Structure 1
Amino acid sequence: MTLQLSYGDLGDACAAAHALDLIGDRWSLLVVRELMFGPRTSPDLRASLNGVSTEELNDRLLFLERAGVVVETELGYITKTTAYALTEWGRELEKVLSALSLWALEGSTHYPVPSTGMTPSGVMVAMRTMVPPQSLPTETPLRAAWRLTDSRCPEVEPQQFRLDWSELGFDLDVGDLPAVDVSVAGDSTVWAGVALLGQPLDAAMATGALRVEGDRAALDRVIRVFADAMAAVG
């Protein structure tokens, strides 16, 4: 359960201490990560957050809602389904997630490799951390799409992401594009291994864990961007 006594109650007026009161509990930032690309239902969140109990998740969602980080919403037009979404203030926490990730990569010798499991949202947050939106403008535009599932959670719907790489920058986000140069479908953990660890794409395709349609050279170009970014951190 969420601590009843805040750092402020204990006499600490530091802004960082207040931030920890809001998002420092176990699961809170991971809930935020899973909501970073759009609303999710409580069952989908629970499936994506391995190890969280229903009671823990409900506690975190209620606390984050009261704190102004998430808001309850509805999905669907005919059959309304309760879901949760980040507020505008809550979306600002991507900066915090990115900073924590880079800090861990730069100094920790115990970082769990992505082969232990990454959700679709987790992979995309990591990719945007390594190559932030509006970075790396290019004179040769490229559009790509990903339809990622988490093989550990077969009941959760796939998530769709798109990359619009142009003179405006490397814009990676949720959603669709009317036309793409290349598309990738498959398991999010396997894609994390390819994009973030340099594991061979051909091997992932050979096992059927990833499927690629379109311009393979365009995808190789995208993969090189992340290989360079990971090398710079390492």
Structure 2
Amino acid sequence: MPIKRTYGDLGDACRAANALDLVGDRWTLILVRELILGPKRFADLLESVRGITPAVLTERLRTLRESGIVEPVVLPDLARTRAYAATAWGRGLEPVLAALGRWYSAGPDPATSGGMTPDALVIAMRTMAPPVAGETPAVEFRLHDDRRPGPPVHHYHAVTINGILAVRAGAAPNPAAVVTADATAWGGVVFGGLPLTDAAVRVDGDRDAVLRLVRLYAQPA
């Protein structure tokens, strides 16, 4: 296998170029996206990062660990499951992903196809979080990915903090409403203007709180 030469090896001192040496390979930023909100097992990453092979995933995780972007962790379960998480420095790549998403959205053809993982959809909600006048009731999201067999359910919630809608991982203590949905279907409601009556989206609790949240995302930026 030929030795990979970095931009630094080639004499380019630009820090953006050197950053691309760390995260510019295919799959790498997608892996980081899936780890920003919380740890995942190897098998979870293999399912979430669509198209990646076990060998490539192993190599990318090794590189990210050596770079200090990802670290191995042990989950607090009875089996003490081994997993991977983004480091504090690695989580600093979220604004980079957000900037890429906004850049693509401003292009001549921002349409996309396929589906979204729960974390990818929530990262998108964080990227496009609108300013809020006043307070909004807490809404919890229980999202899964119907493209996976027996998909696990991931918990998130949205609350208002200092006039900004904050979308975070984890369940809400006392949500006004709970949305249970396939992540792609919920993304269609939030970003695609699909009706909340979609059969793939279930709302328990205050439906008006969910409608208010959806309308916030429909406002012009």
TM-score when normalising by structure 2: 0.94
The correspondence of residues 1-234 of structure 1 with structure 2, limited to 5 A, is 4-109=4-109, 111-113=111-113, 116-131=114-129, 136-167=131-162, 169-202=164-197, 204=198, 207=199, 209-228=200-219, 231-232=220-221
Percent identity among equivalent residues?
40
Name structure 1 gaps, 5 residues minimum: none
Task: Give every structure 1 segment of 4 or more consecutive aligned residues whose post-TM-superposition deviation is greater than 4 Å.
Answer: none
Superposed displacement of residue 21, structure 1: 0.2
**Higher mean Cα deviation, 214-223 or 138-147?**
138-147
Q: Which residue type is aligned with residue 39 of structure 2?
A: P
How many residue pairs match? The answer is 221
Give unmatched runs, 5+ long, in structure 2: none
The CA deviation at 1:137 is 4.5
Task: Choose between structure 1 and 2: higher helix proportion.
Answer: 1
> Take 2:71 and 2:211, find their aligned partners in 1: how far apart are those partners?
39
Query: Greater shift after overlay, 103-112 or 83-92?
Result: 103-112
Cα distance in 2 for residues equivalent to 1:9 and 1:48: 33
Q: CA deviation at 1:136?
A: 2.5
**Local SS of the residue matching 1:148:** strand
**Displacement, 1:79?**
1.1
Q: Report the RMSD for the aligned CA atoms in angstroms.
A: 1.8
What is the rounded CA distance, in whole Å, between the counterparts of 1:98 and 1:147 in structure 2?
22
TM-fit CA distance, 1:170 = 1.4
Normalised by the length of structure 1, the TM-score is: 0.89
Report the alpha carbon displacement of residue 141 of structure 1 after superposing the two structures with TM.
Answer: 3.5
Query: SS at 1:201's partner residue?
Result: coil
Question: What is the distance in 2 between the residues matched to 1:160 and 1:187?
Answer: 12
